[in-house]
């Protein structure tokens, strides 16, 4: 009887573990393909290696500001590929006077380890710490898609972060999973882990400002998710919806307006009250 029970029990446990692993894995599509090199952007790039406490070694690019530095941006990229694909979307910032740290989560690109939800947040916190060590009073976090979710959760842990830009992102992992696979919605709690939802971290950001950017034609992360993130946030906050934009960064469609709004947000962040503990 014990052998029979064991034979029945192990597949159930193994299946649950597999479903959980596959479920969380739906959010991550890393690779180590090289899409660009530092010389492609016309700015100096310092390759950096760092890690979260007890975590694997991570890979990143530090793009120093051209001329006098106005501040520093930690960029958390989306769920696919690696930093060599995503760096192009923030390569304009150094010419505007901002240093940029773009990095790969564990399991992406040249970063070691395997990707997990907790790991992405720990890695982003480590990236923020690196940036704060170099620019302790003028660092903001900018995240796209999954990176927006990671960036909000990580920035909440570091009161010295002056503001957060969340582009094309969502408030809750289970909600976006149900939206993408409505027929499987009843099973989502079984095969997705809990925790690290950006919506749960929003209260800790105030009074640092939050800028939510979303394209109204976004089919990957529908605009309703960005609006929900904005609604849950405390003041100060700003919502910018772009009617013609999809999931790709609106910077590609409206570069001048995007850069102008970003700089205005950065200036507001520098003049906002500091968070407790900063």
What are the pLDDT digits (tens) for 21-37? 446 888 999 999 999 99
pLDDT at 17 over 70: no
Tens-digit pLDDT profile for residues 63-81? 999 999 999 999 999 999 9
Q: What is the mean pLDDT of the chain?
A: 91
Tracing tokens 């694909």 back to the chain, one arrives at: 85
Query: In which band, very low, low, confident or very high, does the pLDDT at 191 lie, cut at 50, 70 and 90?
Result: confident
CA distance 133 to 188: 39
Burial of 219 (0-12, 13-18, 19+ CB in 10 A): exposed
Tens-digit pLDDT profile for residues 219-269? 999 999 999 999 999 999 999 999 999 999 999 999 999 999 999 999 999
Report all structural domains of the chain as residue ranges with CATH numbers, in order of start. 2-271 (3.40.50.1820)
CA distance 132 to 139: 7
């Amino acid at each position: 009887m014990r052998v029979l029970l064991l034979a029945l029990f192990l597949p159930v446990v193994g299946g649950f573990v597999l479903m959980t692993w596959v479920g969380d894995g739906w959010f991550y599509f890393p690779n180590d393909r090289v899409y660009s090199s530092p010389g492609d952007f016309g700015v100096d790039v310092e390759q950096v290696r760092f890690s979260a406490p007890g975590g694997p070694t991570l890979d990143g690019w530090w793009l120093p500001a051209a001329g006098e530095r106005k501040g520093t941006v930690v960029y958390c990229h989306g769920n696919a590929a690696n930093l060599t694909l995503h760096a192009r979307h923030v390569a304009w910032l150094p010419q505007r006077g901002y240093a940029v740290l773009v990095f790969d989560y564990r399991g992406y690109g040249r970063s070691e380890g395997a990707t997990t939800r907790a790991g992405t947040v720990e890695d982003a916190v480590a990236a923020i710490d690196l940036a704060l060590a170099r620019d302790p009073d003028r660092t903001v976090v900018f995240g796209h898609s999954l990176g927006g979710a990671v960036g909000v959760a990580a920035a909440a842990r570091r009161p010295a972060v002056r503001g957060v830009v969340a582009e094309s992102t969502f408030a809750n992992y289970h909600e976006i999973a149900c939206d993408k696979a409505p027929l499987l919605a009843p099973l989502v709690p079984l095969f997705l882990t809990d925790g690290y939802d950006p919506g749960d971290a929003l209260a800790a950001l105030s009074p640092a400002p939050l800028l939510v950017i979303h394209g109204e034609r976004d089919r990957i992360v529908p605009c309703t998710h960005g609006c929900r993130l904005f609604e849950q946030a405390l003041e100060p906050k700003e919502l910018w919806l772009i009617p013609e934009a999809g999931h790709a960064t609106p910077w590609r469609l409206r570069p001048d307006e995007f850069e102008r709004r970003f700089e205005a947000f950065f200036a507001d962040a520098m003049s906002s009250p500091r968070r407790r503990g900063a």
